[in-house]
Amino acid sequence: MILSAMLRVKMAWARPTGPRHEVVLSSRLRLARNLRAHPFPPRAPAEELKAALKAVFKASAAAKSLESAARLELCEVSEVDREFLVERRLASRLLISEPAHRGVVVGEREVLSIMVNEEDHLRLQGIDSGLCLEDLLGKVSALDDELAQTLDLAFHPELGFETACPTNVGTGLRASALVHLPGLALSGQVNGVLQSLGAAGLIARGHYGEGTKVLGDFYQVSNARSLGPSEEDLVSGVSKAVEELVRAESKARTELLRGLGKSRLEDMVFRSVGSLEHARLMTYEEAMQHLSAMRLGLSLGWELPADLTTVNELTVLSQPGHVQMLAGKELDAGDRDFLRATLLRGKLKS
């Protein structure tokens, strides 16, 4: 399979159609699973990893929910391709750091996928647009059931699904939502609000975080625990907290529009539009900052030179791996910034 063909296919999670999409960009749900017969990947020798990869690929080929899925061995694709998979959220940095005997299975529109031999033998995941964790649990759990027909999964009668790290044991579930919180960030409330989530047993962190840098006011909220409550209860805990965040963010946005705040907000958004329309060189971080401002303007109903679909798409396409994929070759940072600025200008004019 040629990965660049995936550039033309729109990922389901980037469409601005899901519930609460004005604040929630996407939801992601994963179930960690392991094969009973093999050591966990961090401790498995090459031949064990190889056997596990083969077994998972074979089982996934028989699964109805992964019909017409692509199966990729990471050592068989280029470094640019692997970077692309990470940006597409189909592979993790950890998975691509040692490509040998690692793989991904990618289902239709990239909703359902499997990472093979990351921390665990299988990481089943579902990603879609907006706040849709309950729906994703249904889909991923159905895939899990299908795979369990042919794979002997490691399951402990008391502790549940056995995982390499005990932080995932039990359900193996992590439910997360990618939320856009520019209103709370601008009004200085974001840290307080996120800290209060911690008290509720949730984890909130900046998105695409390299170090402590939060890109474009995007944050990720997920459950901290995996053992004890049922899958449904864990998911509803995250959903409820995210609904609460949506309310707080919407309120913050409305308040920012009052009085003097409105011209300040307009100034910020239209400066960003100006940069996206005219800049000749743009780093990924700067692009995310401007796209975040545009997203805020659009959610307030302002007339801007691109719609939410385009803005969402550009947040994905602006990533370094995607820019290189568009160029068809590896580029140094300066060339990437040039190509990115050109891409953004072109999309905003049309």
Partner 1 sequence: MLCARCKKKPAQFLIKNIVDNQVSEAHLCLDCAHGAAQESVAPALAGLLSLLGGAAPAPREKAPAKCASCGLRWTDFRKTGFLGCPACYDCFAVPLKGVLQEMQGAVRHSGKRPARSSADLRGRLDAALKSENYEEAARLRDLIRKGRAA
Q: Residues interacting with partner 1, by CB under 8 A?
A: 34, 36, 38-40, 42-43, 93-94, 97, 119, 141, 144-145, 148-149, 153-162, 164-171, 173, 203, 205, 209-212, 224-231
Q: Which amino acid is at 331?
A: L
For the chain, the distance separating the N- and C-terminal CA atoms, rounded to the nearest angstrom, is 31
Distance CA 6, CA 17 (A): 20
**Closer to partner 1 at the Cβ: 113 or 168?**
168
In order, the DSSP letters of 258-274 are STTHHHHHHHHHHHHHH
φ, ψ at 37 (rounded to 5°): -80, -5
Pair of tokens at residue 280: 């000749």
User: Residue 310 Cβ, how far from partner 1 at the closest point, in Å?
Assistant: 26
**Closer to partner 1 at the Cβ: 190 or 256?**
190
User: Residue 159 Cβ, how far from partner 1 at the closest point, in Å?
Assistant: 6
Q: Which of 323, 339, 27, 87 is nearest to 215 (CA)?
A: 87
CB–CB of 248/291 below 8 Å? no
**Closer to partner 1 at the Cβ: 225 or 251?**
225
Which of helix, strand or coil describes residue 93? helix
User: Residue 8 Cβ, how far from partner 1 at the closest point, in Å?
Assistant: 26
User: Residue 348 Cβ, how far from partner 1 at the closest point, in Å?
Assistant: 28
CB–CB of 103/57 below 8 Å? yes
Distance of CA 243 to the CA centre of its chain: 19
User: Residue 126 Cβ, how far from partner 1 at the closest point, in Å?
Assistant: 15
User: Residue 332 Cβ, how far from partner 1 at the closest point, in Å?
Assistant: 15
**Closer to partner 1 at the Cβ: 226 or 272?**
226
Distance CA 181, CA 243 (A): 13
Please state, in angstroms and as integers, the Cα–Cα distance from residue 188 to each residue in 34, 179, 182, 194, following that order.
Answer: 43, 16, 10, 12
**Closer to partner 1 at the Cβ: 9 or 148?**
148
CB–CB of 239/134 below 8 Å? yes
Please state, in angstroms and as integers, the Cα–Cα distance from residue 246 to each residue in 45, 168, 203, 242, 253, following that order.
Answer: 46, 27, 16, 6, 11
Q: Which amino acid is at 70?
A: A
User: Residue 253 Cβ, how far from partner 1 at the closest point, in Å?
Assistant: 27
User: Residue 141 Cβ, how far from partner 1 at the closest point, in Å?
Assistant: 7
**Closer to partner 1 at the Cβ: 68 or 149?**
149
**Closer to partner 1 at the Cβ: 203 or 279?**
203
**Closer to partner 1 at the Cβ: 166 or 305?**
166
